[in-house]
Amino acid sequence: MTPSPRSAALAPAVLALAAGLLAVPAPAVAAPTTAPSAATTALPATGSWGAPWCRLPETVPLPTGSLPEGIAGGRGTTFYAGSRADGSVVVGDLRTGESRPLVAGVEGRVAVGMTYEARADRLWVAGGATGAVTAYDGTTGAELGRWVVPGSGFLNDVEVTRDGVYVTDSAVQRLVVLPLGRRGALPGPDGATTLPITGDLVYGAGFNANGIRAYRDALVVTQSSTGDLFRVDPRTGVSDRIEVSGRDLTGGDGLVLRGRTLHVVYGFSTDSAAVVRLSPDGRSGEVVGEVGDPDLDRPTTGILAAGALWLVNGRFAVAEPATAEYQVVRVDLR
């Protein structure tokens, strides 16, 4: 997940981004957003959660001025979306199009990439230029832990495995790691570690390691500035380039993975997501298609739910972001 602009030089981009994020006034969290789009489409009989008569909204509204970027899929059609303005989080239902506040905003906080850990009902949130990783209770929104990692550049996206939580830093060539103990026990306040990235992935100007997803025994990471995909060993940090044939993936942001199908979301080149078919060992892949929707406006990342791909509209080019409308957009897969 990467705020605009992604093509700027590394150090100035990160510093300017941090200043811009913290300067945005925190929007008021008012009544829950409840108005789904009037335009709906019947869910095919093969949908994962309902019968053919069930209907899904084309767009799901998010709080005005929330500056969303990250989204995580919970149980069923539950979703979570965060705010770059104040770190607040809403929880909603893609089936009904309704959402409500889950985590209140705090001045100076930022919510960027996020993921939901179903086994422990925990929501993990990357804090961008604040250098923080925060865990919340997925039901109550209670803060379970917060780790601020010194020397961080821009903590961007999050993935959880059986052994730990891995966070990309788009400005510093390393992963932030929160080891998980027996039965998923959280580390102590000083328990965050860092794992230098070595091998094929070499940082340069612009945003580097961005989206991250676990595949087989490795972590798949996209480098936004080059468009390359890499396998990163979660134990050693050694990276190997994934040989991908097909269209250029430069500018890729969030990653959505199910099975061997990887969606690489674009918010600054096209309002769409490339569809990559990975090899069984994850060492190669092929771009086999692209999906999009007219309602998309600088999408950042997404989730798969109810037989569709749902992408967050980051709307980074909007003139007045603090008063702008934001949405999660349903993209039908074909």
Express each pLDDT in 109-148 by its tens digit: 999 999 999 999 999 999 999 999 999 999 999 999 999 9
CA distance 235 to 310: 32
Q: Percentage of residues in the chain with pLDDT exceeding 70?
A: 84
- Per domain, the residue ranges of the chain are 10-332
Q: How many CB atoms lie within 10 A of CB 268?
A: 22
- The whole-chain average pLDDT of the chain stands at 87
Q: Which is the CATH superfamily of the domain at 10-332?
A: TolB, C-terminal domain (2.120.10.30)
For tokens 């959880």, the residue is 160
Q: Is 247 left (phi over 0), alpha (psi -120 to 50) or beta?
A: beta
Per-residue pLDDT, averaged over 281-292, amounts to 97
Q: Decide if pLDDT at 292 tops 90.
A: yes
Give residue 9's pLDDT.
38
Per-residue pLDDT, averaged over 220-240, amounts to 97
Give residue 35's pLDDT.
37
- What six digits make up the tokens of 99? 């959402």
For tokens 């406006």, the residue is 297
Under a CB-based contact definition with an 8 Å cutoff, are residues 322 and 63 in contact?
A: no
CA distance 136 to 127: 13
pLDDT-based confidence at residue 210 (cuts at 50, 70, 90) = very high
- The type of residue at 289 is G
Express each pLDDT in 251-282 by its tens digit: 999 999 999 999 999 877 789 999 999 999 99
Per-residue pLDDT, averaged over 79-83, amounts to 98
pTM here? 0.84
Nearest C-alpha neighbor of 131 from the set 172, 181, 161, 103: 172
Give residue 42's pLDDT.
32
Least confident of 43-52, 135-144, 192-201: 43-52
Give residue 1's pLDDT.
53
CA distance 140 to 125: 15
Q: How many CB atoms lie within 10 A of CB 30?
A: 9
Q: Decide if pLDDT at 178 tops 60.
A: yes
pLDDT-based confidence at residue 4 (cuts at 50, 70, 90) = very low
Give residue 269's pLDDT.
73
pLDDT-based confidence at residue 18 (cuts at 50, 70, 90) = very low
CA distance 202 to 120: 34
Per-residue pLDDT, averaged over 181-205, amounts to 97
Going through 16-152 in order, the beta strands assigned E by DSSP cover 40-42, 55-57, 59-62, 68-73, 78-83, 89-93, 98-103, 114-117, 122-126, 132-137, 143-148
Under a CB-based contact definition with an 8 Å cutoff, are residues 150 and 159 in contact?
A: no
